[in-house]
Amino acid sequence: MSCNDNYYNRFEAIDNATKIITDYLVRNNEDLWKLLYYIEPNVLPLSQANLTNAQKAQMICTDPYAVNDSVDKSVLFQTVFDEAFSTAIPQLRFEVGDIVPIDPYRAYINIDFQIIVPVKQDIFTAPYNSVARRSDAIFRELVKTLNGVEIPNSLFHGKLFMDRMAPNGAGRKTGSYRQQMNKSYTGRWCTFGVLI
């Protein structure tokens, strides 16, 4: 075995990627949490008080076995499952998606986000638009906070990005598109890439 074998990519960055990103969102985007939390009719979510860290923590699913028909968390670490469709709250689900090695030492990973909003909560009043879409606003908050950002204390070797022209095909799945889950839920799928 060659000494150089120790330098091959071990992909450790995927182990805590979702935790690192969640912690970053907790610290760096108050409006994202307001959009997930303040859902009552005629309440202007972006005009409400910032949430405390304790309130944000209550919104995050930390028990992998608690995802069932009565899940009441807004942030989950898995995409595309049906159990939470019975819960009428906005959700931000995400996970590590594709892993694309570009040589023995480097790879790009996709971070896939699924934004799910009950149709009755999707239209809301924002300071910039009297008929804004909550699903689009959540997407914009993600992009505003993560796109082009190098997350400190992570094992990422660069900035998160959305760029379909990124080298080595790394960005070919990045971007966002609208989803309609069923007649009661709408949302968006969005994907960021990052070098590990």
Q: For residue 19, what are its two tokens?
A: 């935790």
pLDDT tens column, 6-44: 689 999 999 999 999 999 999 999 999 999 999 999 999
Which amino acid is it at 179? Answer: Q
User: How many angstroms separate the first and last alpha carbons of the chain?
Assistant: 24
What does the alpha-carbon distance between residue 115 and residue 134 come to, in Å, rounded to a whole number?
10
Count other Cβ atoms within 10 Å, centred on residue 131: 8
| CA-wise closest residue to 97 among 168, 160, 27 | 160
What is the predicted pLDDT for the residue at 2? 52
pLDDT classification of 189: cutoffs 50, 70, 90:
very high
Confidence of residue 52 (pLDDT cuts 50, 70, 90): very high
Whether the CB-CB separation of 67 and 83 falls below 8 Å is answered with yes
- The mean pLDDT of 132-139, rounded to a whole number, is 97
Whole-structure pTM value? 0.91
Residue 122 has pLDDT above 70, yes or no: yes
Mean pLDDT of 97-125: 94
* Residues 139, 188 contacting (CB under 8 angstroms): yes
pLDDT of 1: 43
